[in-house]
Amino acid sequence: MACYALVDCNNFYASCERAFRPELNGRPVVVLSNNDGCIIARSGEAKALGIDMGTPYFKCRALLERHGVAVFSSNYALYGDMSARVMRILTRFCPAVEVYSIDEAFCDLSGVPGGAEAYGRRLRATVLAWTGIPVSVGIARTKTLAKLANRFAKKQDRSRGVFDLTTSPDPDRVLRWTDIGDVWGIGPRHAKRLRAMGVTNALQFRELDRDWVKKKMTVSGLHTLLELRGLPCHDFASGPADKKTIVSSRSFGHPVTRLDHMLEATAQYTTRAAEKLRKQQSVASAILVYLQTNSFRLGQPQYANTLSVPLAVATNHTPTLIRAAQTAMERIFKPGYQYKKCGVMLSGLEPEHGRWLNLLALPPDHRPGDAPLMRAVDRVNHRWGRDTVAFAASGITRDWRMKRDMRSPRYTTVWEEILQVRAK
DNA sequence: TCTGGGGTCCTAGGACCC
DNA sequence: TCTGGGGTCCTAGGACCC
């Protein structure tokens, strides 16, 4: 019988910041989204102050200052590297690991020696000792139940970070304790509707009629129901699946009004998206661009538009993609507006090798030298850091760039920012 | 002044074909 | 003038996830 452990890092981004600043232990810490927009991670102390996830920074700034909260801009170079370290440890000690997100992984603990719970405790202690990141471990027969067990492990002090639902004397009590809105797969819309019917916890949901659930919540809802009953519906995936779409978009540091700035940003985001595309060895057959004004500014004139253009031949050649994206952007850009954000999306992704070729158009990356050039650019940027080699179309000063006024050093990925230790 | 970014899956409905 | 059923493909929108 399958036995899954969900290993989830506690307050991951806040914990990453703390791992290098031990003086912050016991102090409230929050991390902001891109552009220092809203709160996306909180230490336990920050949660206790009543700071909600997703709160705009400017709305809670005074409260944060009053309580001496340490505030950080997000530092994805640091979080990505810390995540890789955690995942390497899990991979080393577990027979099979599915990395589910930057801070979570499902581990197959079927048949581990000494029992799953003891194994989970050793995993937890090892990750903490080797990375400084505290994790919680929830163990169960299905992924949905493992999620639920993990939450219980996090919230109930007496489980000390690990909870095994498969050996629990009263698993139904844990389901009754779990609010309907905290069940994996049940979002705010369905939760509201279920509550209105008197279904307020996971146990009550589990007892609902399956046909009713399928009709009202599609097969996704049915899978959630069956998983709560112990029937696995979500398979264990060992490798990451290839993406079907790739998006790159950002809000600007301040409003953009000029077409040339918009075209620079378009080129920059296209460059990012193309890098991701080549990393999974795919080519894109269409590119979509969009732009929008700030919809929170009700008094200002609003405009948003998108344009999707098919590519004659699927490609991952950055200059070709930039040309297509900029041409599309020129067509939807209208002067006289204060733009807040733009983005590009690559779709119709296919494997790079063994794809169909259009008989009427020469594949752009079949020009001799194009593919090797892209490979060389990727290698240089991987070795020496992002944008060591960049495309001129992305601009030099990049006035539109996002704000990150409080970013911590990239301790683990940039030599100049490495942690310094001084002897007294 | 200041409100994130990147994804997946499912379903309904329209266009089009035989 | 009216009448049919079955199928595919694509898109938009909704809901969810981290």
pLDDT band with cut points at 50, 70 and 90 for residue A239: confident
Question: Is A416 domain-assigned?
Answer: no
Same-domain pairing of A229 and A266? no
Residue A381 exposed, middle or buried by CB count within 10 Å (0-12, 13-18, 19+):
middle
Closest nt by CA–C1' to A193 = C15
Rounded to whole angstroms, the distance from the CA of residue A3 to the C1' of nucleotide C3 is: 59
Question: Is A96 domain-assigned?
Answer: yes
Footprint of strand B on the protein (CB under 7 A): A 33-35, 37-38, 40, 54, 56-58, 218-220, 241, 243-251, 254-255, 272, 276, 294, 296-297, 340-341, 343, 402
Rounded to whole angstroms, the distance from the CA of residue A382 to the C1' of nucleotide C18 is: 25
Closest nt by CA–C1' to A218 = B10
Footprint of strand C on the protein (CB under 7 A): A 100-104, 147, 183-191, 220
Closest nt by CA–C1' to A59 = B2
Q: Which helix (H) or strand (E) holds A252?
A: strand A246-256
Same-domain pairing of A32 and A7? yes
Q: Please name the residues in contact with A380: beta carbons below 8 A apart, sequence gap of 6 or more.
A: A388, A389
Question: Is A400 domain-assigned?
Answer: no
pTM for the full model? 0.93
Distances (CA, A) of A378 to A274, A371, A373, A383: 10, 11, 9, 9
Whole-number pLDDT of residue A295:
87
Q: Which CATH number goes with the domain that contains A45?
A: 3.30.70.270
Same-domain pairing of A327 and A283? yes
Distances (CA, A) of A373 to A370, A378, A379, A380: 5, 9, 10, 11
> How many CB atoms are located within 10 Å of the residue A121 CB?
17
Mean pLDDT on A203-227: 96
Mean pLDDT on A130-158: 97
Same-domain pairing of A287 and A310? yes
Question: Is A358 domain-assigned?
Answer: yes
Q: Which CATH number goes with the domain that contains A366?
A: 3.30.1490.100
* Domain-terminating residue out of A193, A217, A241: A241
Rounded to whole angstroms, how far apart are CA atoms A321 and A272? 11
Residue type (1 letter), A259: L
Q: What is the pLDDT of residues A53-102, one digit of tens each?
A: 999 999 999 999 999 999 999 999 999 999 999 999 999 999 899 999 99
Closest nt by CA–C1' to A344 = B6
State the nearest residue by CA to the C1' of B6.
A247
Across A308-312, A317-321, A328-332, least confident range = A308-312
Same-domain pairing of A223 and A264? no
Same-domain pairing of A145 and A47? yes
Q: Which CATH number goes with the domain that contains A197?
A: 1.10.150.20
Q: What is the mean pLDDT of chain A?
A: 93
More confident residue, A370 or A268: A268
Question: Is A94 domain-assigned?
Answer: yes
Based on the structure, what is the number of domains in chain A? 3
State the nearest residue by CA to the C1' of C14.
A189
Closest C-alpha to A152, from A165, A134, A143 = A165
Whole-number pLDDT of residue A298:
82
What is the domain extent for residue A371? 246-394
* Domain-terminating residue out of A241, A257, A276: A241
pLDDT band with cut points at 50, 70 and 90 for residue A323: very high
Same-domain pairing of A200 and A259? no
Rounded to whole angstroms, the distance from the CA of residue A221 to the C1' of nucleotide C7 is: 28
Question: Is A414 domain-assigned?
Answer: no
Nucleotides of B under 7 A from a protein CB: 1-11
Rounded to whole angstroms, how far apart are CA atoms A313 and A310? 8
Please say whether the dihedral angle defined by the alpha carbons of residues A351, A353, A357 and A361, taken in this order, is positive or negative. Answer: positive
Rounded to whole angstroms, the distance from the CA of residue A264 to the C1' of nucleotide B16 is: 40
Same-domain pairing of A66 and A20? yes
Residue A25 exposed, middle or buried by CB count within 10 Å (0-12, 13-18, 19+):
exposed
Whole-number pLDDT of residue A363:
55
Rounded to whole angstroms, the distance from the CA of residue A235 to the C1' of nucleotide B18 is: 39
Same-domain pairing of A29 and A164? yes
Same-domain pairing of A278 and A191? no
Question: Is A420 domain-assigned?
Answer: no
Same-domain pairing of A78 and A149? yes
Rounded to whole angstroms, the distance from the CA of residue A187 to the C1' of nucleotide C17 is: 9
Distances (CA, A) of A201 to A87, A140, A173, A175, A182: 32, 18, 11, 7, 9
Same-domain pairing of A19 and A154? yes
Question: Is A413 domain-assigned?
Answer: no
State the nearest residue by CA to the C1' of B10.
A218
